Amino acid sequence: MNILYIMFDQLRFDYLSCAGHPHLHTSHIDALADKGVRFTRAYVQSPTCGSSRMSSYTGRYPSSHGVQFNSYPLRVGEWTMGDHLRKAGMSCHLIGKTHMVADAEGMERLGLAPDSVIGVRQSECGFDPWVRDDGLWAEGPDGFYDAKRSPYNEYLKSKGYPGDNPWNDFANAGVEGEDIASGWFMANADKPANIAEEDSETPWLTTKAIEFIEQATGPWCAHLSYIKPHWPYIVPAPYHDMYGPEHVLPVVRSDAEREDAHPVFDGMMNNQIGKAFSRDEVRKKVIPAYMGLIKQADDQMGRLFAYLEQSGQMQDTMIVVTSDHGDYLGDHWLGEKNLFHEPSIKVPLIIYDPRKQADVSRGTTCDALVEAIDLAPTFLEVAGGAPVPHILEGRSLQPWLHGENPEWRDYAVAEFDYSTMPLSAKLGLAPKDARLFMVTDHRWKLMHAEGGLRPMLFDLETDPNELVDLGTSAEHADVLEMMYNRLHQWSLRMSQRITLSDEQIISGRGKSGRKGILLGVYEPDEIDAGLTVKYLGPVPQNTADQ
């Protein structure tokens, strides 16, 4: 069986019609959910792109793999999904975005050539890249945001779009008179992108995925990682005006959230992004464009799924649809992500398993506390590989897909390191203290902040919109203690001993008692005679002088 691992960037869990959105009809993703399982409590391990993705690709928490924020290199030698799957006999490929930064210094130290097979895999999260494009080609004082060549830009040039950076000038810009209406300015979000729809990023990447599948020989895993609906929030016609201000859902926020707010929350509400998305005119411009980007993505899913059906590959391809994090879109006076409210940290997760064992679960939902790190062990089990729990910190989701009710985790955990953000300096925090942790169960959510800052606590049962912070409530001291005990339990996990499995350790117990290695022995009869035969036998003769 093959695996098609589809990830959208910045897709909220509730912006699908199968998840209850009243205006955004995602019929093709809904149809996949009807054939699979939709997980309703799926959490990523960090609310920022690079860190979240590295957790998904390694099956490990950020504090285990070390990528705590964007632009942090993934250290050389870290096991990835591709490493595990290739060991199990399944190839692993990349089509699109990873937000991966290579550990160039580590590769140089070990003498790994960047253009060698292993060098490329170390630079691409363990994937064999079919096409890599992170979709951030803004021009700055030193050139492109990303120094590598953009395959998408080269495609646009081949189609006749002029200039050095048609990504910026056409795919992510509209037109105002004779001037470019840049997608970086959210006031332009309601304009159609200045590009033919079939040439825009999402259809282009879908085409690349189909080209890969056409030539692939299995078993394979393909990570199809879309750039949208991530900003810039601008989409080509006809999607640019499919939705309007009347389709924008009421904002989820309260004036009380601003009163005596947690210092980190307060800082994020009052940064440039938070202030912008707190304005109603911004939401009315951005959210319809965001919805248009999602509708375009769903239509491309229809195109992709139709190809799989027509080529006869739907019945032997597991399909996963998920996201790396969500988008506040003005909820809680915030934009973007970077905190732990549900719109940011919870993501859509739909898994279609074509095997007969999954017939019992088709069209169902599962509210188990699932983490993004569960995908790597799931894929490894599908590939027939032996489990490696001393490396992979997630758990296989296959039992849920096959209608079983496995023993499962009681809480989910996420982390966020904001030490590189201006907010940490404003709060006077050293880098080691600019860290946040989330622990959530089926009712409670704790947000812990290092640096001597107070916690935040939400009751998801009575306050599902997370508007009332109970972090300083004396009446909830017992809940805080329970959640902190869980955080303590999680922090004591064995996360760095990855070169020896438990089985290897257990099988090696007592092997220090070998012939000639007799520690703590006083008399020969205290141990197995076989270990002392050399010393109780005849005295060896030195014949050199005879």
Q: How many CA atoms lie within 13 A of 136 on its CB side?
A: 15
User: pLDDT exceeding 90 applies to what percent of the chain?
Assistant: 86
> Same domain for 521 and 481?
no
> Same domain for 318 and 281?
yes
Query: Cβ distance 323 to 29 under 8 Å?
Result: no
Q: Which two tokens stand for residue 263?
A: 């210092």
Q: How confident is the model at residue 105 (pLDDT cuts 50, 70, 90)?
A: very high
Torsion sign over Cα 172, 10, 223, 414:
positive
> Same domain for 532 and 463?
no
CA-based nearest residue to 380, from 395, 367, 365: 395
> Same domain for 359 and 231?
yes
Instruction: Flag whether 506 is in a domain.
Output: no
| 96 torsion bin: left (phi>0), alpha (psi -120 to 50), beta (else) | left
Please report, as a single letter, which amino acid is at residue 468.
V
Query: Cβ distance 202 to 227 under 8 Å?
Result: yes
Instruction: Flag whether 508 is in a domain.
Output: no
Q: Is the pLDDT of residue 438 over 70?
A: yes
Query: Cβ distance 26 to 296 under 8 Å?
Result: no
> Same domain for 326 and 379?
yes
Please list the helix, strand and coil fractions of the chain in percent, rounded to the nearest 5, in that order. Answer: 40, 15, 45
Instruction: Flag whether 405 is in a domain.
Output: yes
Q: What is the CATH number of the domain that holds 390?
A: 3.40.720.10
Give pLDDT tens digits for 324-344. 999 999 999 999 999 999 999
Give pLDDT tens digits for 467-495. 999 999 999 999 999 999 999 999 999 99
Which residues constitute the domain of residue 540? 515-545
Instruction: Flag whether 467 is in a domain.
Output: yes
| C-alpha Rg value of the chain to the nearest Å | 26
**Residue-level pLDDT at 376:** 98
What's the CA gap between 318 and 224, in Å, rounded? Answer: 13
Place of tokens 């074509």: 354
**Residue-level pLDDT at 136:** 80
pTM attached to this predicted model: 0.94
Compute the C-alpha angle 456/461/467, nearest 5°: 45
CA-based nearest residue to 447, from 369, 344, 333: 344
> Same domain for 539 and 459?
no
CA-based nearest residue to 22, from 247, 291, 252: 247
Q: Is the pLDDT of residue 540 over 80?
A: no
User: What is the DSSP secondary-structure string of 102-124?
Assistant: B-HHHHHHTT--TTSHHHHHHHT
Q: Facing residues of 514 across strands?
A: 517
> Same domain for 474 and 535?
no
Instruction: Flag whether 448 is in a domain.
Output: yes
Across 93-102, 173-182, 248-257, the highest mean pLDDT is recorded for 248-257
- CA distances to 202, 265, 509 from 323, rounded to whole Å, are 15, 23, 43
> Same domain for 407 and 527?
no
> DSSP assignment, residue 129?
E
> Same domain for 82 and 193?
yes
Q: How confident is the model at residue 203 (pLDDT cuts 50, 70, 90)?
A: very high
CA-based nearest residue to 123, from 88, 148, 89: 148
Q: Is the pLDDT of residue 380 over 90?
A: yes
Q: Is the pLDDT of residue 144 over 50?
A: no
Give pLDDT tens digits for 291-307. 999 999 999 999 999 99
What's the CA gap between 113 and 251, in Å, rounded? Answer: 51
Q: How confident is the model at residue 141 (pLDDT cuts 50, 70, 90)?
A: very low
Please report, as a single letter, which amino acid is at residue 301.
M
> DSSP assignment, residue 419?
T
CA-based nearest residue to 55, from 88, 79, 20: 79
> DSSP assignment, residue 170?
I
CA-based nearest residue to 339, from 426, 435, 410, 251: 435
Q: Facing residues of 43 across strands?
A: 346, 371
Instruction: Flag whether 476 is in a domain.
Output: yes
Burial class (CB in 10 A: 0-12, 13-18, 19+), 422: exposed
Average pLDDT of span 508-515: 65
Q: How confident is the model at residue 544 (pLDDT cuts 50, 70, 90)?
A: low
> Same domain for 392 and 529?
no
Instruction: Flag whether 176 is in a domain.
Output: yes
> Same domain for 368 and 323?
yes
Query: Cβ distance 327 to 14 under 8 Å?
Result: no
Q: Is the pLDDT of residue 214 over 50?
A: yes
How many domains is the chain built from? 2
**Residue-level pLDDT at 195:** 97
Q: How confident is the model at residue 513 (pLDDT cuts 50, 70, 90)?
A: low
**Residue-level pLDDT at 270:** 97
> Same domain for 435 and 527?
no
Q: Is the pLDDT of residue 517 over 80?
A: no
